[in-house]
């Protein structure tokens, strides 16, 4: 076996996986706070990437300004969606929530398509792309920056949940809404904040994907479905699980792309995460770090 | 004047036709339906045929999701299995369509029950994800299993034949499709007057109570998956006959979302609702196409944006229905009817 090839695959997997981890974190934040399954997560990512691209290439803003405006836009988008669409559905049946987020994903996809068309648009180079040599293998600098960004963001999020007042209030809401209410926490506000954070985190994922791939198109929204195996593997209500799961699924995807695809003639890379999903549901339905709810009917 | 619900017996509550005039109305509707080919041009009849197929598929999904409460995102995959198995039996073994269609239904039912096995352990959103995963796995298998499915190129389906009579035009297919559609509606309507259908509803409403009342949950969940997939498989087989060429791209995951949209807009847990939803969602792109081609002179850009417009309006309608009329068109229709029945003394 060619060890360089294997390492190359693993590094690619780590990079893609770290972005999966980001999007999955966004997914888990919403699920933890409000038990809503957001199937429009991939569209948040796509919208964020397109907005940032627009700011960079059309208005020629410096990168940090573009990022800040994108964050503000994503946060407003998340809060609006929570306020207008998800809040009236609190307490309603699961299928309503699933379907409303699917409808939302249709709307966001259609709006992006109306505004930008379906062609791939090149993404301006934000990070230097010249490869650096790590041991025997060349690695694109963009990859390293991406992993760095994800690490920083995850650390910031962890600190936020651990030490800030809002973060603690959000954790309280996740563990028991009633107790949180009696402690004077506005649960509705926490829901809104969780959607805002989730949208921002996804936007970061979108921007990173854009810089790594060098261009963005509608297929970015597919990320939202890719992330489902990740959250199932990690456990739906665990941020740590989302990160670990993201990396595992990313590496698994690239390994099966490298070793199984030549045998079956392509396609294994795309389907491997879903096979993993089924296996996880069969043997460990609450994932690696998820809270177990025992219910036997 | 009727001003309330005066049912005094169980059979009165279960009856399909509340009065003789309802019977007459249905009879008139069926006459109108089956005389459609007389005065409908070919292109419109093609849409009507697609509506008929969508009705079967939507009822199938509603049996599983609306009546039994098991959310399935794998509808498109089940449909693909129905279409490809019917095509396989037809082209490889030369079976006639009246064997192909039920066999396609049975194959899909078998597969659906297989997917349904984990439903005893996992439920709700976990099941939704499992069925979504099943969709991608089936899609992969269809592309790879070339000896059966023809791979990426797909299968070309010969027109169904009865003796020397071939259902090769839209008019002929219309009768084939709508005879099956009417049978499907009738069976579904009656299913929920039987023990089996009531067990489904009991599982949806409160699984634990159902189990206590003696409903064997696994058995009935699997049965629901089976019946639902049978419907969807038949719809897939008919779709294959109508489309004449099927490939893995005929059944993307958006088809499953469209079908979920149908039963949400029409009404979860309502046979009539499935029909409304199927009609509505199938007509939506056609109406859009008509209106954009009318406006094409003044707004040439609109035509290029048709697909996006369709998706936008679909999403908006789904969201609006869930927020403002979660019980769907069926319930809206019911409340309009009862409003006029009691008019002007609504209280």
Say what percent of chain A tops pLDDT 90: 24
Q: For residue B15, is it within any domain?
A: no
pLDDT for A226 equals 85
> In this structure, what token pair is assigned to residue B336?
């309009």
Q: Tell me the chain B residues in contact with residue A271 when contact means C-beta distances shorter than 8 Å.
A: 136-137, 139-140
> Total structural domains in chain A?
1
d(CA B269, CA B65): 8
Task: Give B137 to chain A, closest Cα distance, Å.
Answer: 6
CATH number at residue A162: 1.10.3470
Of B132, B211, B308, the CB nearest to A113: B308
Tell me if residue A36 falls in helix, strand or coil.
coil
Residue of A nearest to B118 (CA): A282
Task: Give A14 to chain B, closest Cα distance, Å.
Answer: 23
Q: Which residues, 6+ apart, have CB-to-CB distance to A10 below 8 Å?
A: A251, A254, A255
Residue whose tokens read 């770290």? A18
Domain of residue A51, residue span: 3-283
Residue of A nearest to B262 (CA): A99
d(CA A257, CA A265): 10
Q: For residue A290, is it within any domain?
A: no
Q: For residue A131, is it within any domain?
A: yes
Instruction: Say whether pLDDT at A90 is over 60.
Output: yes
Task: Give A41 to chain B, closest Cα distance, Å.
Answer: 15
pLDDT for B148 equals 80
Which tens digits make up the pLDDT trace of B207-265?
889 999 999 998 999 999 999 999 999 999 999 998 888 888 889 988 999 999 999 99
pLDDT for B259 equals 94
Q: For residue A235, is it within any domain?
A: yes
Q: For residue A288, is it within any domain?
A: no
Instruction: Say whether pLDDT at A297 is over 60.
Output: no
> In this structure, what token pair is assigned to residue B136?
């991608």
Instruction: Say whether pLDDT at A221 is over 90.
Output: no
Choose the most confident range, by mean pLDDT, from A224-233, B149-158, B190-199.
B190-199
Residue B122 CA, distance from chain mean position: 25
Counting Cβ atoms within 10 Å, is residue B29 exposed (0-12), middle (13-18) or buried (19+)? exposed
Q: DSSP labels for B122-154?
A: --THHHHHHHHHHHHHHHHHHHH-HHHH-GGG-
pLDDT for B347 equals 60
User: Cβ separation of B322 and A96 shorter than 8 Å?
Assistant: yes
Nearest to B90 by CA among B172, B150, B36: B150
User: CB-based contact (8 Å) between A128 and chain B?
Assistant: no
State the ipTM, two decimals.
0.87
Q: For residue B105, is it within any domain?
A: yes
pLDDT for A296 equals 52
Q: Tell me the chain A residues in contact with residue B65 when contact means C-beta distances shorter than 8 Å.
A: 95
Instruction: Say whether pLDDT at B165 is over 70.
Output: yes
Q: Tell me the chain B residues in contact with residue A228 when contact means C-beta distances shorter than 8 Å.
A: 129, 132-133
d(CA B261, CA B185): 19
More confident residue, B163 or A278: A278
Q: For residue B63, is it within any domain?
A: yes
User: CB-based contact (8 Å) between A214 and chain B?
Assistant: no
d(CA A102, CA B257): 8
CB atoms within 10 A of CB A146: 25
**Number of A–B residue contacts, CB under 8 Å:** 120
pLDDT for B195 equals 92
Domain of residue B153, residue span: 39-283
A34, A37, A84, A102, best to mutate vs chain B, most B CBs in 10 Å: A102
Residue of B nearest to A272 (CA): B137
CA triple B159-B160-B161, angle to 5 deg: 110
Q: Which residues, 6+ apart, have CB-to-CB distance to A25 below 8 Å?
A: A154, A157, A201, A239, A242, A243, A246
Q: Which residues, 6+ apart, have CB-to-CB distance to B308 below 8 Å?
A: A109, A110, A113, A114
Which tens digits make up the pLDDT trace of B37-91?
888 887 888 899 999 999 999 999 999 999 998 989 999 999 999 999 999 988 8
User: Cβ separation of B315 and A103 shorter than 8 Å?
Assistant: yes
pLDDT category of residue A15 using cuts at 50, 70 and 90: confident
pLDDT category of residue A194 using cuts at 50, 70 and 90: very high
d(CA B57, CA B160): 20
User: Cβ separation of B316 and A103 shorter than 8 Å?
Assistant: yes
Q: For residue A294, is it within any domain?
A: no
Reading phi first (left if > 0) and then psi (alpha if -120 to 50, else beta), residue B118 is in alpha
Q: DSSP labels for B168-214?
A: -SHHHHHHHHHHHHHHHHHHHHHHTTSHHHHHHHHHHH-HHHHHHTT
Q: Tell me the chain B residues in contact with residue A110 when contact means C-beta distances shorter than 8 Å.
A: 308-312, 315
> In this structure, what token pair is assigned to residue A76?
């407003």
Could you tell me if A66 and A55 are in contact, meaning their C-beta atoms sit under 8 angstroms apart?
Answer: yes
Averaged pLDDT of chain B? 87
> In this structure, what token pair is assigned to residue B182?
């009417």
Residue of B nearest to A98 (CA): B125
Q: For residue B82, is it within any domain?
A: yes
Handedness of CA B332, B178, B252, B283 (dihedral sign): negative
User: CB-based contact (8 Å) between A270 and chain B?
Assistant: yes
pLDDT category of residue B346 using cuts at 50, 70 and 90: low
Tell me if residue A133 falls in helix, strand or coil.
strand
CA triple A42-A48-A252, angle to 5 deg: 40
pLDDT for B286 equals 87
Residue of A nearest to B205 (CA): A93
Say what percent of chain B tops pLDDT 70: 95
Instruction: Say whether pLDDT at B187 is over 90.
Output: yes
Handedness of CA A251, A257, A260, A262 (dihedral sign): negative
More confident residue, B137 or B164: B137
User: Cβ separation of A110 and B312 shorter than 8 Å?
Assistant: yes
A99, A281, A283, best to mutate vs chain B, most B CBs in 10 Å: A99
> In this structure, what token pair is assigned to residue B40?
């409908």
Instruction: Say whether pLDDT at B26 is over 80.
Output: yes
pLDDT for B126 equals 84
Q: Tell me the chain B residues in contact with residue A278 when contact means C-beta distances shorter than 8 Å.
A: 130, 133-134, 137
A27, A88, A93, A103, best to mutate vs chain B, most B CBs in 10 Å: A103
Which tens digits make up the pLDDT trace of A43-69?
999 999 999 988 888 888 888 888 899
CATH number at residue B197: 1.10.3470
Task: Give B296 to chain A, closest Cα distance, Å.
Answer: 16
**Quick one: average pLDDT of A122-149?**
79
pTM for this structure?
Answer: 0.90
pLDDT for B238 equals 93
Instruction: Say whether pLDDT at B6 is over 90.
Output: no
Q: Minimum mean pLDDT among A21-25, A135-139, B238-242: which range?
A: A135-139
User: Cβ separation of A106 and B257 shorter than 8 Å?
Assistant: yes
Averaged pLDDT of chain A? 86
3-state SS string for B230-270:
HHHHHHHHHHHHHHCEECHHHCCHHHHHHHHHHHHHHCCCC
Could you tell me if B56 and B176 are in contact, meaning their C-beta atoms sit under 8 angstroms apart?
Answer: no
Residue of B nearest to A226 (CA): B133
Q: DSSP labels for B13-69?
A: HH-S-SSHHHHHHHHHHHHHHHTHHHH--HHHHHHHHHHHHHHHHHHHHIIIIIIS-
């Amino acid at each position: 076996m060619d060890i360089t090839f294997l390492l190359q695959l693993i590094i690619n997997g780590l990079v893609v996986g770290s972005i999966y981890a980001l999007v999955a974190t966004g997914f888990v934040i919403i699920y933890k706070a409000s038990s809503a399954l957001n199937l429009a997560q991939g569209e948040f990512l796509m919208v964020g990437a397109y907005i940032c691209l627009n700011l960079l290439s059309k208005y020629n803003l410096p990168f940090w300004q573009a990022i800040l405006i994108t964050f503000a836009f994503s946060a407003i988008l998340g809060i609006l969606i929570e306020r207008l669409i998800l809040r009236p559905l609190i307490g309603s049946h699961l299928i309503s929530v699933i379907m409303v987020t699917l409808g939302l994903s249709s709307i966001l996809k259609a709006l992006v398509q109306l505004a930008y068309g379906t062609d791939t648009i090149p993404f301006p180079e934000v990070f230097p792309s010249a490869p650096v040599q790590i041991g025997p293998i060349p690695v694109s600098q963009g990859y390293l920056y991406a992993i760095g960004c994800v690490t920083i963001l995850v650390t910031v999020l962890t600190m936020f949940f651990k030490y800030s007042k809002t973060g603690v209030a959000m954790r309280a809401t996740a563990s028991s809404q009633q107790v949180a209410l009696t402690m004077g926490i506005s649960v509705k506000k926490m829901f809104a904040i969780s959607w805002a954070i989730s949208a921002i985190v996804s936007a970061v994922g979108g921007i990173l994907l854009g810089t790594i791939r060098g261009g963005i198109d509608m297929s970015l929204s597919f990320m939202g479905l890719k992330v489902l195996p990740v959250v199932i593997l990690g456990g739906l209500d665990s941020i740590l699980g989302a990160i670990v799961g993201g990396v595992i699924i990313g590496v698994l995807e690239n390994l099966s792309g490298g070793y199984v695809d030549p045998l079956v003639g392509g396609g294994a890379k795309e389907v491997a995460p879903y096979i993993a999903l089924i296996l996880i549901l069969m043997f460990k339905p609450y994932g690696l770090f998820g809270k177990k709810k025992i219910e036997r009917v | 004047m009727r001003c309330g619900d005066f049912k005094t017996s169980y059979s009165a509550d279960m009856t399909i036709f509340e009065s003789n005039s309802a019977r007459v109305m249905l009879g008139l509707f069926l006459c109108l339906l089956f005389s459609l080919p007389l005065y409908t041009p070919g292109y419109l009849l093609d849409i009507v045929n697609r509506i008929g197929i969508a009705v079967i598929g939507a009822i199938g999904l509603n049996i599983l999701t609306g009546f039994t409460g098991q959310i399935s995102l794998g509808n498109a995959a089940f449909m693909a299995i129905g279409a490809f198995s019917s095509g396989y039996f037809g082209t490889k073994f030369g079976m006639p369509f009246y064997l192909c269609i039920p066999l396609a239904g049975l194959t899909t039912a078998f597969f659906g029950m297989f997917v349904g096995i984990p439903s005893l352990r996992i439920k709700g959103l976990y099941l939704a994800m499992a069925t979504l995963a099943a969709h991608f796995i089936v899609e992969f298998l269809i592309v790879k299993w070339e000896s059966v499915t023809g791979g990426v190129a797909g299968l070309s389906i010969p027109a169904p034949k009865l003796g020397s009579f071939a259902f090769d035009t839209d008019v002929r297919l219309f009768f084939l499709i709508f005879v099956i559609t009417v049978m499907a509606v009738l069976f579904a309507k009656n299913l929920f007057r039987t023990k089996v259908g009531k067990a489904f509803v009991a599982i949806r409403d409160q699984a634990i109570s159902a189990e206590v009342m003696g409903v064997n949950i696994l058995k009935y969940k699997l049965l629901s998956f089976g019946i639902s997939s049978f419907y969807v498989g038949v719809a897939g087989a008919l779709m294959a006959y109508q489309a004449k060429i099927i490939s893995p791209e005929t059944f993307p995951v958006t088809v499953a979302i469209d079908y979920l949209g149908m039963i949400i807009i029409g009404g979860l847990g309502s046979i009539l609702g499935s029909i409304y939803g199927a009609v509505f969602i199938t007509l939506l792109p056609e109406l859009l196409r008509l209106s954009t081609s009318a406006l094409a002179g003044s707004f040439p850009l609109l035509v290029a944006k048709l697909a996006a417009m369709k998706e936008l309006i679909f999403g908006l309608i789904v969201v609006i229905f869930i927020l403002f009329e979660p019980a769907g068109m069926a319930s809206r229709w019911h409340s309009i009817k009862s409003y006029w029945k009691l008019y002007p003394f609504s209280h």
